[in-house]
Amino acid sequence: MQEFRLPDLGEGMHEAEIRRWLVKPGDSVKLDQPMLEVETDKAVVEIPAPVSGRVAEIKVPEGKVAQLGEVLVTFENGATASSSPSASVSVQRGVQSDVAAVSASSAGSNGSGGSATATRPRVLAAPAVRKRAFELGIDLAQVPASHPSGRVTMDDLEKFAQQAKAAPTQSVQAAQAVPAVMPVQTNGTGAAPAPTKPPEAGAQEERQALTGLRRRIAERMERSWRTIPHAVAFDELDGSALVALRQQLKPVAEQRGVRLTYMPLLVKLLIPVLKEYPIFNASFDEEQRAIIYKRVYHIGIAVDAPEGLLVPVIRDADRLSIIEIAQRMEHLIAGAQKRSLTIPEVTGSTFTLNNIGGFGGSSGVPIINYPEAAILAVGRLQEKAVVVNGSIVVRSIMPLTLSFDHRLIDGGAAGRFLARFKALAEHPQQLMLDMI
């Protein structure tokens, strides 16, 4: 029998819930055929079959949590793997650009029948490249790899495709390809699936197991609240200038096909404040009892997805323009709604911005996105009567709530952080001073 074990999904993830099996015992599968969906606290990942052969036994049923390296499924002897002749199959992929390193080991039985039959070597390529190759009808084995490791990159594929167009007589075979993360179907209403069993007649309550994303959210919230001593600071800002700036930029953004909301502006305003107060872009190493200052600015954006709260990440936000941030946000929000984001797109944030106003709320107290040091929540812009220079005027007011790790940050620093952010947001033209 050949065993397939839960692969390393990266970012320190050591377990995953089996969301759905796409095969059953007795089924014949092909190499790279979608085999199962697993769910981590960050993403739904579709894992392809590492061999061609017949499924012997599924070891971990749907709804159960599997640990890293645990056997998920076994294949009958004689399954053919795309590898060199040996009793083990290892398909290596870079975690940052792929889904994971996938390994399937063979537990030999019945004498020599346990070894895998060799075919051609497996082509190293990210799932996105495999998907594109499938769409183009190109066999990745025919594409010359420029990377020293032999990995076929997207540039290699596109170059080969252009050459194939220029030489129509060249024969191109279609290859199997599976993206790293596939959209997951819901019940069609955008809501989480209903309980599997209908309530009994006359029942006054029903019980549903906490599974999937809801379970992961619960675990992360428990860890954050149990580990981090939360403290909270409140303020509000006059968003009138912010409203005016968005109105000026909105037509320009629309001409470029971008929908400009307030969030890209707030992200851009946040960066200089994080640079001025680096402790807010830090995290705490609990084992070493040390502060880790981050020199990158990966901003998490809380998104209300159909199955629960997700935090996709705008990586290197300090290097992006407002338009680029808006474009990136559109992609991430759409991906969060479909649960189609890759693991790098939902991991590694250094600070989180939560737009409670986008959820319909005026204000609220956010829980820190572990292991970050702080999270800023902005409420809905509302017109209110305020006093300016002794006169009552109407202004667009935005509530601010800053939750912070009191082990690293004191109330004074939190107050100064909010004051600086408020000053920039009330005079957003100051951003021009930092433009190159």
User: Model confidence over 52-87: pLDDT tens digits?
Assistant: 888 999 999 988 888 888 999 999 876 665 443 333
For the chain, give the percent of residues with pLDDT over 90.
41
Query: CA 230 to CA 240: how far, in whole Å?
Result: 31
Confidence at residue 283, expressed as pLDDT on a 0 to 100 scale:
96
Calculate the alpha carbon distances from 421 to 36, 259, 261, 297 in Å: 45, 24, 18, 16
Q: Does residue 158 sit within a domain?
A: no
Confidence at residue 415, expressed as pLDDT on a 0 to 100 scale:
97
Confidence at residue 63, expressed as pLDDT on a 0 to 100 scale:
84
**According to DSSP H, which parts of 16-95 are helical?**
none
Query: Are 16 and 39 spatial neighbours (Cβ–Cβ below 8 Å)?
Result: yes
411 and 263 belong to one structural domain? yes
The two tokens of residue 73 are 């499924």
98 and 231 belong to one structural domain? no
Q: How many domains does the chain have?
A: 2
Show which of 122, 139, 174 is a domain's final residue.
Answer: 122
Confidence band (pLDDT; 50, 70, 90) for 173? Answer: very low
217 and 337 belong to one structural domain? yes
Give yes or no: 14 in active site: no
Q: What is the DSSP letter of 35?
A: E
For 119-272, where are the E strands, in sequence order? 230-238
For the chain, give the percent of residues with pLDDT over 70.
75
Q: Per residue in 101-126, pLDDT tens? A: 333 333 333 333 433 333 345 677 76
Confidence at residue 101, expressed as pLDDT on a 0 to 100 scale:
33
296 and 403 belong to one structural domain? yes
Which CATH number goes with the domain that contains 63? 2.40.50.100
Confidence at residue 174, expressed as pLDDT on a 0 to 100 scale:
34
Show which of 88, 122, 156 is a domain's final residue.
Answer: 122
Which CATH number goes with the domain that contains 392? 3.30.559.10
Q: Does residue 429 sit within a domain?
A: yes
- Write the DSSP string, 187-215: SSSSSPPPPSSPPPTT-S-------HHHH
Q: Does residue 332 sit within a domain?
A: yes
Which of 147, 230, 298, 406 does the annotation list as catalytic?
Answer: 406
118 and 217 belong to one structural domain? no
Confidence band (pLDDT; 50, 70, 90) for 49? Answer: confident
Q: Torsion angle of alpha carbons 328, 331, 335, 337, nearest 10°? A: 100
pTM: 0.61
Confidence band (pLDDT; 50, 70, 90) for 197? Answer: low
Confidence band (pLDDT; 50, 70, 90) for 433? Answer: low
Confidence band (pLDDT; 50, 70, 90) for 356? Answer: confident
110 and 257 belong to one structural domain? no
360 and 254 belong to one structural domain? yes
Show which of 122, 142, 167 is a domain's final residue.
Answer: 122
Residue-averaged pLDDT of the chain = 79
Q: Show the domain range for 43.
A: 2-122
- Over residues 301-323, mean pLDDT: 89
Confidence at residue 105, expressed as pLDDT on a 0 to 100 scale:
36
Order of all β-strands in the sheet with 34-39: 44-48, 34-39, 15-21, 65-67
Compute the Cα dihedral for 117, 120, 121, 122 and give only its sign: negative
- Over residues 35-39, mean pLDDT: 87
Q: Does residue 137 sit within a domain?
A: no
